[in-house]
């Protein structure tokens, strides 16, 4: 038996992505969407490319993490329950250039995200090798909560000049990333409501978020994990007479705003970030083991 056995595992496995939060250097909870593979031993496997290694660096300082399975797009499930998982993560500083040890994870990605197979073609390899230079993250769950789905409201968010209001208004809900009294990260899907002082948020009783640094994550993808977009509104969670309020400070959009021209900028930034990670460790750029990835992609195509 594992901690995860208290959750509906078929539902967890059906989710295409989850929200994953780590703690930054200053203790701020930072959440991003990611793909997860459940292992037979009850742990969860994630990965991050060198280009987006911040979550790995955060884990090496503080292994407390949380995951929330709450966006069912592509899962084939209608209104599935949300699943919150809190736990400890490990991320060794070993750069994986092939799929060994994570074959099921990569096979899952190639099956669920067919367009990623195109990254393996010869013309794309010089541009996309950063995508395959990965760090593996293993999460050992310590607590699990199953929550009912949050119904989508048909009422659009009110107009506001708050920082991040334009990004949040494009989504019916967002995911609050905050901390509990011990400093561990917590997550909850909520409906941010603009107010003069910030975004009012409501969270379930099993989410013991306390005042302090916090953020609101919005993200989307289609049924095949394409057309992805995400934005993070960072700020401070405060208590008010009316309840909890997220006072925004800045917006982070690592993949741009969704314009076609953003793709060039993203490719440039991923190359720089990958080079920076390697340079700081005095490492040459590793060679991706393309044939091994291609074999898994072919397996996925046949499936």
User: How would you list the strands of the sheet with 44-49, edge to edge?
Assistant: 29-34, 18-23, 64-69, 82-90, 134-147, 44-49, 37-38
What is the predicted pLDDT for the residue at 145?
98
Rounded average pLDDT over 242-262: 85
Helix (H) or strand (E) holding 141: strand 134-147
Tokens found for residue 202: 């409501």
Query: Which residues have a Cβ under 8 Å from the Cβ of 101 and sit 6 or more positions away?
Result: 136
Tokens found for residue 31: 């959440």
- For 144-183, the pLDDT digits (tens) are 999 999 987 766 666 789 999 999 999 999 999 999 999 9
What is the predicted pLDDT for the residue at 268?
92
What is the predicted pLDDT for the residue at 259?
67
Q: How confident is the model at residue 49 (pLDDT cuts 50, 70, 90)?
A: very high
What is the predicted pLDDT for the residue at 158?
67
- Taking alpha carbons only, the member of 126, 133, 108 closest to residue 15 is 108
Q: Where are the beta strands (DSSP E) in 191-242?
A: 193-195, 198-201, 210-220, 229-240
Indicate the SS3 state at residue 54. Answer: helix
Q: How confident is the model at residue 1 (pLDDT cuts 50, 70, 90)?
A: confident
What is the predicted pLDDT for the residue at 37?
98
Q: How confident is the model at residue 258 (pLDDT cuts 50, 70, 90)?
A: low
Looking at the chain, the whole-number percentage of residues with pLDDT higher than 70 is 96
């Amino acid at each position: 038996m594992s901690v995860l056995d208290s959750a509906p595992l078929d539902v967890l496995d059906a989710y295409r992505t989850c929200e994953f939060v780590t703690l930054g250097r200053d203790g701020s909870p930072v959440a991003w969407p990611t793909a997860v593979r459940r292992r037979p031993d009850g742990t969860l496997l994630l990965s991050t490319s060198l280009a987006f290694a911040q979550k790995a660096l955060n884990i090496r300082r503080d292994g407390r993490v949380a995951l929330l399975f709450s966006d069912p797009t592509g899962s084939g499930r209608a209104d599935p329950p949300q699943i919150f998982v809190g736990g400890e993560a490990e991320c060794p500083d070993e750069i994986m250039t092939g799929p060994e040890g994570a074959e099921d994870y990569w096979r899952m990605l190639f099956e669920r995200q067919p367009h990623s197979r195109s990254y393996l073609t010869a013309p794309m390899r010089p541009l996309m090798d950063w995508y395959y230079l990965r760090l593996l993250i293993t999460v050992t769950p310590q607590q699990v909560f199953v929550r009912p789905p949050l119904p989508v409201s048909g009422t659009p968010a009110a107009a506001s000049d708050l920082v991040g209001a334009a990004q949040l208004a494009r989504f019916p809900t967002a995911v609050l990333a905050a901390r509990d009294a011990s400093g561990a990260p917590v997550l909850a899907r909520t409906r941010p409501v603009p107010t003069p002082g910030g975004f009012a948020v409501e969270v379930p009783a099993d989410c013991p978020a306390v005042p302090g640094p916090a953020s609101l994550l919005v993200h989307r993808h289609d049924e095949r994990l394409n057309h992805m977009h995400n934005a993070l509104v960072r700020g401070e969670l405060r208590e008010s007479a009316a309840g909890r309020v997220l006072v925004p400070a800045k917006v982070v959009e690592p993949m741009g705003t969704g314009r076609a021209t953003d793709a060039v900028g993203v490719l440039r930034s991923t190359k720089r970030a990958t080079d920076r990670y390697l340079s700081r460790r005095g490492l040459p750029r590793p060679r991706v083991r393309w044939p091994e990835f291609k074999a898994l992609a072919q397996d996925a195509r046949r499936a």
